[in-house]
Chain A
Amino acid sequence: MGVVVKISGLVKSYKELTAVNELDLEINEGEVFGLLGPNGSGKSTTINCLLSLLDFDKGEIEIFGKKMSPTAYDIKKDIGIIMQDVAVFDELTVYENIDYFCGLYVTDKAQRKKLVDEAVKFSGLEDFVKFRPKKLSGGLLRRLNIACGIAHKPKLIILDEPTVAVDPQSRNKILEGITELNKQGATVIYTSHYMEEVEQICSRIAIIDKGKKIAEGTKEQLKKMVKNTETISILACEAKQEHLEQIRQLPHVLEAELEDKKLVIHYSGGKHNLIRVLDVLQKADVDFGRVYSELPTLNDVFLELTGTALRDQEG
């Protein structure tokens, strides 16, 4: 598996604000690489530097083993870009838009027609080819945005928050599409501040905050970074302080809290934790309601690493 993108020591500053600070990344062929971070963390700046849309202060960027630059057209021809904002022409129809952007890469008319037709089908826009973008819903517009970016069948696809302000149904369709593109052989870089999306489709993830990479790895590797490996919540629990003390003595328990009849127990590793705690409650003849067992999320990873939740920083 070769390295498709290599970013070394990237620094980009806007006057006194350092948007990207000594960032190193390696993205391998065939990966869906997630760049996760809150708004303003430096994701889009990194992507813009990667695409040579922005000059950077320090560092090196290589794509397909070659140095990236504004005039590296031999590299650019194999890149597909889907921006956060929908970048299409309102004056053109859906088909004309896809054809135009595909034409920036593919000059042969017959080949282009085939590719455009495939992109239309892939993005489920068959019934809307003659529509102008203003007549499309938000979800369809996003799909058109994606179709314009992938019609020329690029080897590397960069998606910069493509699901912002998209309804859940369209979001799922988009995520399925990205997975499909990856299956067809494309390497994908996916930036988002929606950790569920990143968790769902990315094979490897880098978490960045304030321009710095704070963690990198598969989701499993990232989750191992947190002490809290499991959280068990028991609702309508009639437990008393003495029972709480018993639970705290169980193996792997990090912390146990009881508030408004809700018992929350945090674990660090271990198996069969739920069976053990339920056993304690049954033996003590304590009534209880619903029981939940939650594994750590990327938000927990972010919380652990930065001290703030990813969600707290959104918007």
Chain B
Amino acid sequence: MQVFKLFFMILRRRLVPVILYMGIFILILTSITSSGSQNESFKPSELRLVIYDEDGTEASRLAKDYLAKGNELVDIKDDDDEILDALYYTTIHYAVTINKGFEQKLEKGETDGLFTVRYVHDNYSNVLADNKMNEYVKTVSAYAASGMDVESASKKAAKTLKKQAEVTYQQNTKSSDEIMGMFFQYLPYVLFSAIISALGPVLITLDRKIVRDRTHCSALKLSRETFGKIGAASVFVMILWGVFLVAGAVISKGSYSGKTLYAVANSFIYALISTGIAILVASVVNNENVLNVIIQIFGLGSSFLCGVFVPQELLGKGVVTVSKALPAYWYVKANNSVFGLSEQTFDSGKVLLCFAAELGFAALIFALAFVLAKRKKS
């Protein structure tokens, strides 16, 4: 019990990185999953226009009315300098002059030279205004071509074009299953980092030669010391894993049932592997700085190589060959199958096969850690 209690006394001073990893992960995941869920309403873009009617006919008046509709009509003197200033200071987006002979040209079915326009290039407003004018002219021309006079054709075109498409926003909210999939996708990196950054230093501290010697000189049986360490490490990892699972359920607003239980089991096996790696590293490394370097290299490296951060289907053939030798690959593969990610479909047989591969890695890591620890002690 002494070693068990000691473990947690040391651990309490090493919890900051764990809390940071967990906090940042939950924060990022919450912000990703909540983006795009706000209700938004559609409002057509409104342009500020100035329209000069040099034709002065009924057809040009109807054209002016049509263009002005839905936009803001600005009154500016028909002077080049003033128009350029207004465009420069964006007092207006677009200046249109309905040229003389507008009605006559339309009657003849001509569509060129009906307007003179001035605008600032490379602006989406111009495209919008151009489209609106072209649409109007083409519609009027079409009606006029069918035998209508220009005035009737203009009225008919304005009426036809009045109809607007109904716009509805499709909300981009993710389902509970999708969020859970995302949660379990990124979990191995955070779980690994949190476990190693807490367990590693504690094990290194407990394994310092001078305190180890003092403990071995005491009346404490070696078996009790070992069980104390293993027991405390197991309890810590279980608590940490449990907290992550609770966080996952809260963020996804879901519960663990059905096939998601496979994901839970998958994460448990990965927690086991991370614990094994922590013990292995602590039995080789005596320096916490070296431990931090290993966390970064192995944690980030295996996450990138095995498809935690990048979907597995995007990984190159060579990368996949290498990553198969890392436990994270099998974790991600199982997770993809459970949640139907990376073009995978759920297949319990395949998932169990991945579990077996992961458990094989765990056994190997623990065996290696045991051998190294024994060698170190002797």
Contact B217 A101 (CB under 8 A): no
Partner among A81, A89, A104 whose Cβ is within 8 Å of the Cβ of B220: A104
Question: Is A83 in contact with chain B by the CB < 8 A criterion?
Answer: yes
With A85-B210, A103-B2: A76-B9 Cβ-Cβ less than 8 Å: no
Contact A87 B213 (CB under 8 A): yes
> In whole angstroms, what is the CA distance A91 to B5 when docked?
13
Contact A77 B214 (CB under 8 A): no
Question: Is B286 in contact with chain A by the CB < 8 A criterion?
Answer: no
Min C-beta distance of B98 to chain A, whole Å: 84
Cβ–Cβ < 8 Å partners of B205 in chain A: 89-91
Contact B211 A104 (CB under 8 A): no
Min C-beta distance of A298 to chain B, whole Å: 28
Question: Is B6 in contact with chain A by the CB < 8 A criterion?
Answer: yes
Which residue of A is nearest B212, CB measured? A87
Question: Is A269 in contact with chain B by the CB < 8 A criterion?
Answer: no
> In whole angstroms, what is the CA distance A71 to B221 when docked?
7
Which residue of A is nearest B210, CB measured? A87
Question: Is A199 in contact with chain B by the CB < 8 A criterion?
Answer: no
Question: Is B219 in contact with chain A by the CB < 8 A criterion?
Answer: yes
Give the total of A residues in contact with B, Cβ under 8 Å. 28
Min C-beta distance of A259 to chain B, whole Å: 48
State which residues 189-241 of B face A: CB under 8 Å.
205, 210-211, 213-222
Cβ–Cβ < 8 Å partners of A76 in chain B: 217-219
Contact B9 A77 (CB under 8 A): no
Question: What 4 A-B pairs are tightest by C-beta distance, nearest first?
Answer: A77-B219, A104-B218, A87-B210, A87-B214
Contact B9 A83 (CB under 8 A): no
State which residues 8-23 of B face A: CB under 8 Å.
9-10, 13-14
Contact B214 A81 (CB under 8 A): yes
Question: Is A92 in contact with chain B by the CB < 8 A criterion?
Answer: yes
Q: Mark A250-292, 1 if CB is under 8 A from B, else 0.
A: 0000000000000000000000000000000000000000000
Cβ–Cβ < 8 Å partners of A100 in chain B: 2, 5-6, 9
Interface SS of B by simple majority:
helix
With A87-B210, A92-B9: A51-B2 Cβ-Cβ less than 8 Å: no
Contact B217 A148 (CB under 8 A): no
Interface size range of chain B in the complex: 20 to 34
Which residue of A is nearest B216, CB measured? A53
Contact A81 B221 (CB under 8 A): no
**Inter-chain CB contacts under 8 Å: number:** 63
Partner among A53, A86, A103 whose Cβ is within 8 Å of the Cβ of B217: A53
Question: Is A178 in contact with chain B by the CB < 8 A criterion?
Answer: no
Cβ–Cβ < 8 Å partners of A104 in chain B: 2, 215, 218-220
Contact A81 B217 (CB under 8 A): yes
Q: A100-B5, A100-B6 are in contact. List 20 more A-B contacts (CB 8 A).
A: A53-B213, A70-B216, A70-B222, A76-B217, A77-B219, A83-B210, A87-B211, A89-B6, A89-B9, A89-B10, A91-B10, A91-B205, A96-B9, A100-B2, A100-B9, A104-B218, A104-B219, A104-B220, A107-B1, A148-B214
> In whole angstroms, what is the CA distance A62 to B250 when docked?
62
Contact B13 A91 (CB under 8 A): yes
Cβ–Cβ < 8 Å partners of A71 in chain B: 221-222
Contact B219 A51 (CB under 8 A): no
State which residues 57-80 of A face B: CB under 8 Å.
70-71, 73, 76-77, 79
Cβ–Cβ < 8 Å partners of A51 in chain B: 213, 217
Partner among A73, A89, A90, A148 whose Cβ is within 8 Å of the Cβ of B219: A73
Min C-beta distance of A269 to chain B, whole Å: 45
Contact A73 B6 (CB under 8 A): no
Contact B13 A79 (CB under 8 A): no
Cβ–Cβ < 8 Å partners of B216 in chain A: 52-53, 70
> In whole angstroms, what is the CA distance A88 to B214 when docked?
9
Cβ–Cβ < 8 Å partners of B214 in chain A: 81, 83, 87, 101, 148-149
> In whole angstroms, what is the CA distance A245 to B10 when docked?
73
Min C-beta distance of B198 to chain A, whole Å: 13
Which residue of A is nearest B12, CB measured? A91
Question: Is A105 in contact with chain B by the CB < 8 A criterion?
Answer: yes
Partner among A77, A89, A103 whose Cβ is within 8 Å of the Cβ of B211: A89
> In whole angstroms, what is the CA distance A188 to B192 when docked?
48
> In whole angstroms, what is the CA distance A70 to B9 when docked?
27
> In whole angstroms, what is the CA distance A100 to B215 when docked?
10
> In whole angstroms, what is the CA distance A104 to B212 when docked?
12
> In whole angstroms, what is the CA distance A77 to B210 when docked?
19
Which residue of B is nearest A76, CB measured? B219
Min C-beta distance of B287 to chain A, whole Å: 15
Min C-beta distance of B227 to chain A, whole Å: 14
Min C-beta distance of A107 to chain B, whole Å: 8
Cβ–Cβ < 8 Å partners of B222 in chain A: 70-71
Cβ–Cβ < 8 Å partners of A91 in chain B: 9-10, 13-14, 205
Contact A101 B10 (CB under 8 A): no
Cβ–Cβ < 8 Å partners of B10 in chain A: 89, 91-92
